[in-house]
Amino acid sequence: MTGPQTIDLAKEAIYVLLIVSGPMMVVGLVVGLVVSLFQALTQIQEMTLAFVPKIIAIFITLLMTLPFAGAKLSGLMQKVSEYIIQ
């Protein structure tokens, strides 16, 4: 495996990482923003109110995007194994 191939593989791995983790990060951001807005409007400062909805929303998003993430990670692993075989 040459240097440029290693860099290309690393770039693709970072791209796959961003694509796979992106939906969960966006959902966590949106739910956190909504919960913070709710807390500011009602003046409820309960710490568990900030974490529990985010955890549930991210878990549901993870379950929904699991086939997509598995396909992306499987494709990346196939490329890595092709480079190992060469």
In order of 36, 37, 69, the CA distances from 51 in angstroms are: 11, 14, 24
pLDDT at position 27 is 97
Predicted TM-score (pTM) of this structure = 0.81
DSSP three-state, residue 44: coil
pLDDT value for 3: 86
* CA 61/CA 9 separation, integer angstroms: 27
Instruction: State phi, psi for 2 to the nearest 5 degrees.
Output: -90, 170
Assess whether pLDDT exceeds 80 at residue 1: no
